Structure 1
Amino acid sequence: MNSRSPAGVVVGVDGSAHAAAAADWAAQEAVRRGCALHLVHAVNTGTVTLSPRTSSAVTDLILHDADAVLADALGKVRASHPTLRLTGDVVPRDAAEAVLTAAEHAELAVVGTRGHGGFASLLLGSVSLRVAAHASCPVVVVRGAPQVGSHVLVAVRDEHDGGTLRFALRTGELTGLPVHALHTWSPVVADVGHMAPMVDEIGEEARLHEQLLRHTCDPIREEFPDVVFEARQEHGATAGTLVEASRKAALLVVSRRQPAPHFGLRLGTAVHAVLHHAYCPVAVVPLG
């Protein structure tokens, strides 16, 4: 049993419909990238609280069932993608830790929004959230059967988002889809009662944001000359704007920035919102 995968795409599976959708998405992505796909099925046998005389047999039974779940997932992927290099492991540990360990040297990790555990009413499971928050590689969270979108949508805040933009353009290159960069901002002038005399100031602010967007995008888009690209800005709340814009996207790409030193959250509020509410798969790209 090897909990670390070769470089390629890693996907967590657990027999749920969400995991099956994630595995199918991951397989298609591995084919596009020309790399291997590694399936990870985690079972936390440490939660078995039976007497020492019976726990060994029960653990063996759990692992046997886990092998069957993995074999079923491998079989379905192999049937759909017979030429794909495919490996898989049953890992007796916490699910998020298993995927994170397997993805340490991967190009990409893929998870579904929810597995069998937790509350059915939750839009995003704790495993998916932990993997997105801590993985050293980009993570794609797939909800249900991915929609057929017309483009790759990438959120761009400033020049620090270069790696995220590059990931989106690489995806556009692999899929043949155009890439739309979206920069959102809120006007500094928020006093509605004094908006009229400040229109010029808002216009100047918009021009500054346009310069920032071009300064960030232009050097990187030149690396992908065959990808159709457009960039636009909108003023408004970032989370709501991105969620609404994701309706027609095949993939929404966002950045995971370093957390503030005195706060525990590793994902910003906008990233949390799109992970829970976006209409398409979401890629979370860690920034250095």
Structure 2
Amino acid sequence: MEIRPPAGVVVGVDGSPHAALAAEWAAGEAERRGCALHLVHAVETGTITVPARSGAAVTDLLLRNAQEVLDRALAELGAAHPALRPTGDVVPKDPAAAVVTAAEHAELAVVGTRGHGGFASLLLGSVSLRVCAHAGCPVVVVRGDRAEGRHVLVGVREERDAGAVRFAAREAEQAGLPLRVLHVWSPVVADVAGAAAMVDELGEESDLHRQLLRRTVDPVRADHPELDLDAEDFAGPVAATLVDASAEAALLVVPRHAPAPRLGLRLSTAAHAVLHHAHCPVAVVPV
């Protein structure tokens, strides 16, 4: 069975409460965007060890059960969002790979924090983490209800993060919320001789960061003149600051940079931290 590469919003489902929350969030997002919603339920049939004569029957049973889960999710979403007409596929494939493949031509991929297969103690499952690290489109990991937030929040590290700011601006406009851009940086000044010299160097460094933030945000502000956009820089621990700030956000947006040629991480340390500890849904945007 080949998965169709749909446009619009793609969401991974597996019958778990976390996936149901993600599917409902994805449906609301598809409605706001005026686009299609496609559900993907992946089943790893090749990992089962059974006698050869029983293998086909077991695989067939797994796929039938998966189709029932998918049909139930489609029916529930269709009843709650009649204008959407959601579609779906059961895919005999690794779940993370299935969602990444399905989202190749999508505007957005959505996943829950964990599925049935994860340990209850984990804050974020490996499937969701792998989708965030490898998808070619923005990925939202759903936790909580974004309607409770006051604004959309986006973390900025450098000028190339303007793509994440543009994504956040569109999300804020669609949700009718203000946008808060936060550039958190860690001072590089250390062990300088004399307090006056340290103050001078910190002041210069702070000026550079304010200029970076202005260059990153001003073009987005010009493209969205009606958007209530506030930008600020802050010297401190990046991950902890973003996690704390997410308590009042409807959505936290973080950029994902291409990994370094040798041993580079696909997700930064800060992105890992907010995916595990944020108080709201998190969007990971490749830039």
TM-score band w.r.t. shorter chain: over 0.9
**1:147-201 CA distances to partner (integer Å, 9 max, x unpaired)?**
6100000011121011111000011111111000000112222339844552233
Corresponding position of 2:12: 12
Once the 2 structures are TM-superposed, how far is the Cα of residue 80 of structure 1 from its aligned partner? Answer: 1.2
Cα pair 1:189 1:195 within 8 Å, conserved: no
Corresponding position of 1:73: 73
Equivalent pairs counted in the alignment come to: 287
Give the alignment's TM-score, normalised by structure 2.
0.96
Once the 2 structures are TM-superposed, how far is the Cα of residue 145 of structure 1 from its aligned partner? Answer: 4.5
Corresponding position of 2:270: 270
Corresponding position of 1:244: 244
In structure 1, C-alpha distance between the alignment counterparts of 2:274 and 2:192, rounded to whole Å: 28
Corresponding position of 1:281: 281
In structure 2, C-alpha distance between the alignment counterparts of 1:18 and 1:192, rounded to whole Å: 50
Report percent identity of matched pairs. Answer: 67
Look up the equivalent residue of 1:180 and give its one-letter code.
R
**1:98-125 CA distances to partner (integer Å, 9 max, x unpaired)?**
1011000000000001001121111111
Give the alignment's TM-score, normalised by structure 1.
0.96
Cα pair 2:151 2:180 within 8 Å, conserved: yes
Corresponding position of 1:151: 151
Once the 2 structures are TM-superposed, how far is the Cα of residue 85 of structure 1 from its aligned partner? Answer: 3.1
Cα pair 2:256 2:267 within 8 Å, conserved: yes
Corresponding position of 1:255: 255
In structure 1, C-alpha distance between the alignment counterparts of 2:24 and 2:100, rounded to whole Å: 19
In structure 2, C-alpha distance between the alignment counterparts of 1:246 and 1:238, rounded to whole Å: 12
Once the 2 structures are TM-superposed, how far is the Cα of residue 211 of structure 1 from its aligned partner? Answer: 1.2
1:214 aligned onto 2:230? no
Cα pair 2:152 2:171 within 8 Å, conserved: yes
**1:25-72 CA distances to partner (integer Å, 9 max, x unpaired)?**
100000000000000000011112111211111111111110110011
Once the 2 structures are TM-superposed, how far is the Cα of residue 146 of structure 1 from its aligned partner? Answer: 4.4
Q: Which runs of 5+ in 1 are unaligned?
A: none
In structure 1, C-alpha distance between the alignment counterparts of 2:33 and 2:190, rounded to whole Å: 46
In structure 2, C-alpha distance between the alignment counterparts of 1:209 and 1:134, rounded to whole Å: 29
Equivalence map 1:71-220=2 (5 Å) = 71-146=71-146, 148-191=148-191, 194-195=194-195, 197-220=197-220
In structure 2, C-alpha distance between the alignment counterparts of 1:232 and 1:145, rounded to whole Å: 25
For the structure 1 residues 194 and 142, does the alpha-carbon distance in structure 2 shift closer, same or farther, using more than 3 Å as the test?
Answer: farther
In structure 2, C-alpha distance between the alignment counterparts of 1:19 and 1:159, rounded to whole Å: 34
Instruction: Give secondary structure in 2 for the equivalent of 1:71.
Output: helix
Greater shift, 162-171 or 136-145, is seen at 136-145
Cα pair 1:32 1:175 within 8 Å, conserved: yes
In structure 2, C-alpha distance between the alignment counterparts of 1:147 and 1:35, rounded to whole Å: 20
For the structure 1 residues 117 and 59, does the alpha-carbon distance in structure 2 shift closer, same or farther, using more than 3 Å as the test?
Answer: same
Indicate the RMSD between aligned Cα atoms, in angstroms.
1.5
